[in-house]
Amino acid sequence: MPPVSTPPASVAGLAARFAARAEDHDRAGRFAHENIADLRKAGLLGLTVPERLAGAGAGLERAAATIGALAQGDPSTALVLAMHLIQQALIARAGSWPAGLADRVGRAAVAEGALINALRVEPDLGTPARGGIPSTVARETADGWRVTGRKIYSTGSPALAYGLVFARTEDAAPRIGNILVPMDAPGVRVVESWDHLGLRASGSHDVILEDVRVPHDHAVDLRAPEGWRAPDPDQQAWNAVLIAALYDGVARAAQDWLVAFATARRPASLGDSLAALPRFQEAVGENARLLSLDARLIRAIAAEVDRGSTPEPQESGFLKLNVTENAIAVVQRAVELSGNPGLSRANPLERHLRDVLCGRIHWPQGDAVRTAAGRAALSL
């Protein structure tokens, strides 16, 4: 059962440290600040920053291996890092940012461990990926922009240095796009609203922006609404691969727990371990099959992107959907086999189950992937 890739020993050590803390953070729904501090010390916030800015210049394959390994320890922390790595990689590739600003954000990630994430979802809009105009407004003034609005599901918000805020202008024909907002700017406020079933330590709270001032050049990508209709292949691929790697990591943690449980558990009525039962062997083998295929899919797509052959968005959507559904199946099978111990809060498997189900929520969602593929196949 090959993993996505073999991560450095330092990453595996971080994953073990995160796993030891994960239960406490999950129960309290508390953001794992110490995990983020460990990522900073390890230099991982500069992983996808270009080498010319003193970053590691890593491609998608290495980023996926890192996220997959860390997710086996704590997927909430892995999600925060994944979102950051995606944004840093896209900034380096975009070419639309003012060069000085892009370099400043990259250097801050390397030197200070400055986190960034896109703040896109809103209470009324939902995810912009399904269309619509954001309610968040960016008003242009003589000295820059004033940004006002509310963002929800803002992963990593307690630790972000920058938020890439999706907003609309006040023009008669509004433009929409991204405004870079320093999270310590006056008028930015985090409301601790995140209280979900899974990924409870991800700090995906609400962010309130009240007349926040930012310079003119912080409007890094404003377009007419129709300019956002077609998905960006690079963004779709990076997002799909890292999200897939994250939930693959959760499934691997569940499989490891199941193997240890089946090997150690020796019911008196059986006279042997559960691992001796053919139905356990078949189920664990089926999990191994799915995990092996998922690892190959993740590596293959990541390698294509790193070679400059980014797949079409539809293919990236297929990857994300296949891997997350397989990951859910792996964890659910582990719960079914283990019975009550699998659902006991004394064991991590019930947390893995809650976490892995979040894979269905991340974009692109299953219905969108299938509908887009169906319309393409039907030439609609």
**Rounded Cα distance, 331 and 334, in Å:** 5
Amino acid at 97: W
310 inside domain: yes
Q: What is the CATH number of the domain that holds 100?
A: 1.10.540.10
- Tell me: do 109 and 166 sit in the same domain: no
Number of domains, the chain: 3
- Tell me: do 237 and 373 sit in the same domain: yes
User: In this structure, what is the dihedral angle of CA atoms 134, 138, 139, 145, given to the nearest 10 degrees?
Assistant: 180
3 inside domain: no
Kindly give, in sequence order, each residue whose CB lies less than 8 Å from that of residue 356, ignoring residues fewer than 6 positions away: 198, 247, 250, 251, 254, 324, 327, 328, 331
- Tell me: do 205 and 339 sit in the same domain: no
1 inside domain: no
What confidence score (pLDDT) does residue 121 get?
94
Q: Point out the domain boundary residue: 174, 198, 228.
A: 228
Domain that residue 137 falls in: 119-228
- Tell me: do 284 and 370 sit in the same domain: yes
The model's pLDDT over 156-184, given as tens digits with 9 standing for 90+, comes to 999 999 999 999 999 888 999 999 999 99
**Helices (H), ranges, the chain:** 9-28, 33-41, 60-73, 75-94, 99-112, 233-264, 278-306, 313-338, 340-343, 349-356, 366-377
- Tell me: do 318 and 341 sit in the same domain: yes
Residue 6 reports pLDDT greater than 60: no
2 inside domain: no
DSSP-derived secondary structure letter, 122: B
Residue 126 reports pLDDT greater than 70: no
Q: Point out the domain boundary residue: 80, 115, 150.
A: 115
What confidence score (pLDDT) does residue 124 get?
85
Q: Is the peptide bond before 2 cis (omega within 30 degrees of 0)?
A: no
- Tell me: do 309 and 345 sit in the same domain: yes
This prediction has a pTM of 0.95
- Tell me: do 274 and 202 sit in the same domain: no
Q: Point out the domain boundary residue: 228, 244, 259.
A: 228
Q: What is the mean pLDDT of residues 284-302?
A: 97
**Rounded Cα distance, 87 and 16, in Å:** 26
- Tell me: do 141 and 106 sit in the same domain: no
Lookup: tokens for 359? 């894979």
- Tell me: do 271 and 346 sit in the same domain: yes
359 inside domain: yes
Element of type H or E holding 35: helix 33-41
164 inside domain: yes
70 inside domain: yes
Query: What share of the chain has pLDDT > 90, as a percent?
Result: 87
350 inside domain: yes
Q: What is the CATH number of the domain that holds 247?
A: 1.20.140.10
- Tell me: do 245 and 337 sit in the same domain: yes
- Residues 294, 322: contact at Cβ < 8 Å? yes
